[in-house]
Amino acid sequence: MANEKITIKMVSEKANVSKTTVSRYLNGKYEFMSAETKKRIEEVIAELEYRPNALAQGLKNNKTGLIGIVVSNIMIPEVAALVRGVNDYCIRKSFQVILVETDQKNISQQDQIQALIDRQVEGLILSSNQDEAFVKSLTEQKVKIVLADCTIEELMIDTVIVDNEKATAEMIQRIYSEGFDRVAYFTPPLTTPSRKKKLALFLESSKIAVRNPEQLAFEIEETQVAFDACKESLNELLKKNQGYRLAILAENSELMFALIHVIYSLGLRIPEDVAIGGYDDLGWNKLYHHEMSVIEKPSYEIGSQAAELLVKRISKGKMQYKPKVIEVQPKIKMSGSTQVSDNSFDKIVIRMNQENQPYIKKNYRKQDD
């Protein structure tokens, strides 16, 4: 019977019981079933090598073991790492993951998410920018959702995000402590809460060294002319800060890549003329044969924790619960060292107090008003 599809009917006939009895056995309903009948069904199932349709059984019990994850582009390394984190955790918990990429231009994001719901997923992990009204409508339909590495400001919902606050403050302090006079910040358009928060953190952390840090922040359009926009902004930065030792932080890896090319196109050296760093490490250090300071996003951990939170929600089965926000700590890799910081800003403050020495050098020049 190796190539023959085994059915419940065949099991029932072989065990000399009704199909209903076999179905009850498969669903763990052993009430009013004798030990002899239970053993006989078990032996026949083993003999015929019967495999029940897990999806069909799940649909009957409103449990399919399916989780949907929505991302922008799986080709981005940090996105791929997040998906691996989700998938590895789900495998351990006997869930299967269905992946949807929202960069598909010919299909609307909402239609893709609705397709997942139509496939009876038990929950969703959203890791790309979403329409607030649409996500709210999903929660009103009792769809279990966890946001991973993204936020919706006006919506109370389970979320796993990166806590960049301490890391940003420490990064900027360390750069100034190494003798840099100016730290500039390049960001794509401020269209997401995450980007707005990163800019705010940069401005706040930079006040320790310059009077008007907003003059060192540049917003770059996400278009095919991003290279030209970076070049124009960098030229402006260099012109206004002649004689100062400069460092630049990029909001994301794509912008960092563009800046590296711009710096080299201007005949400048990294880090001798302009140092560069930012958020996310996609291997630029190895590619360009020198190290850069980066705040490394723990994408795998974000995915794993998002999956764990969602599976717990599914397992408990409750529709009403208090949304939870989990903040994952990033790691800092400073240029000139392969050591990874423990990212403990509190320890830095304690060390300053104990040694009675400022962590920041005070020989940098204040920015003119």
Domain ranges of the chain: 8-52, 66-162+301-328, 165-296+330-355
Reported as a single tens digit per residue, the pLDDT across 179-231 is 889 999 999 888 878 888 889 989 988 887 888 888 899 998 866 566 788 88
**Structurally, what CATH architecture does the domain formed by 8-52 represent?**
Orthogonal Bundle (1.10)
- Give just the sign of the alpha carbon dihedral 47, 53, 54, 60: negative
Domain 66-162+301-328 sits in CATH at 3.40.50.2300
Whether the Cβ atoms of residue 51 and residue 2 lie closer than 8 Å to each other: no
Residue-level pLDDT at 55: 55
User: What stretches in the chain show pLDDT beneath 70?
Assistant: 1-4, 27-28, 52-62, 104-106, 222-226, 281-292, 318-320, 335-369
CB atoms closer than 10 angstroms to residue 153:
9
CA 296, distance to chain mean position in Å, is 12
Residue-level pLDDT at 327: 92
Nearest-angstrom CA–CA distance, 136 and 142: 10
Reported as a single tens digit per residue, the pLDDT across 143-177 is 999 999 988 877 889 999 988 888 888 888 888 88
**What topology is assigned to 165-296+330-355 in CATH?**
Rossmann fold (3.40.50)
Decide whether 8-52 matches 66-162+301-328 in CATH topology.
no
Nearest-angstrom CA–CA distance, 73 and 76: 6
Residue-level pLDDT at 128: 81
Among residues 314, 269, 310, the alpha carbon closest in space to that of 288 is found at 269
Pairing assessment for the beta strands 246-250 and 182-187 based on DSSP bridges: parallel
Among residues 239, 187, 193, 196, the alpha carbon closest in space to that of 217 is found at 187
Burial of 209-236, coded b for 16+ CB within 10 Å and e otherwise, reads bbeebeebbbebeeeeebbebbbebbee
Instruction: Provide the 8-state DSSP code for 230.
Output: H
**What global pTM score does this model have?**
0.68
Instruction: Using alpha carbons only, give the angle 275, 281, 285 rounded to the nearest 5 degrees.
Output: 55
Q: What is the mean pLDDT of the chain?
A: 79
